[in-house]
Amino acid sequence: MNLEEVRIYCLSKPGAEESFPFDSETPVYKTCGKIFAITGLNPPYSVNLKCDPEKALDLRERYEGIVPGYHMSKKHWNTVDLEGSVPKKLICELIDHSFELVFNSIPVKKRNEF
């Protein structure tokens, strides 16, 4: 999965927005102001995704291309390799999981706007 595919997939989520709050080379994807994905425009290409802590540990054991989140809470975030070692279908599922964790943490009134 390449960066543009990740970008398009992330932006397809309800209320999703892309911004560059850290620098011009680190796209951040948020819903309702909360981050659910972070990528980088320079190699090696990867995406940071929020993850249930138990699932995060399991994924790290099963996939060489999934490691604790770079510059993030190692308990709640994974960095996922986009350069071929993690299947595209799984990357999409992990983006969905990250989005759902974040979106479900938003107050119902705000969620209902989407």
pLDDT digits (tens, 9 = 90+) for 2-39: 999 999 999 999 999 999 999 999 999 999 999 999 99
Statement: residue 114 has pLDDT above 80 = no
Which tokens hold the place of 59? 């994924």
33: left (phi over 0), alpha (psi -120 to 50) or beta: left
Radius of gyration, alpha carbons of the chain:
13
Distance between CA atoms of residues 88 and 58, nearest Å? 18
pLDDT digits (tens, 9 = 90+) for 38-96: 999 999 999 999 999 999 999 999 999 999 998 888 899 999 999 988 999 999 999 99
Task: Assign 68 to helix, strand or coil.
Answer: strand
Q: Identify any residues that bridge with 30 across adjacent strands, giving them in sequence order.
A: 17, 35
pLDDT digits (tens, 9 = 90+) for 93-110: 999 999 999 999 998 888
> pTM for the full model?
0.94
Distance between CA atoms of residues 113 and 106, nearest Å? 11
Domains of the chain from N-terminus onward: 3-111 (3.90.1150.30)
Instruction: Give the number of residues written for the chain.
Output: 114
Q: How many CB atoms lie within 10 A of CB 102?
A: 21
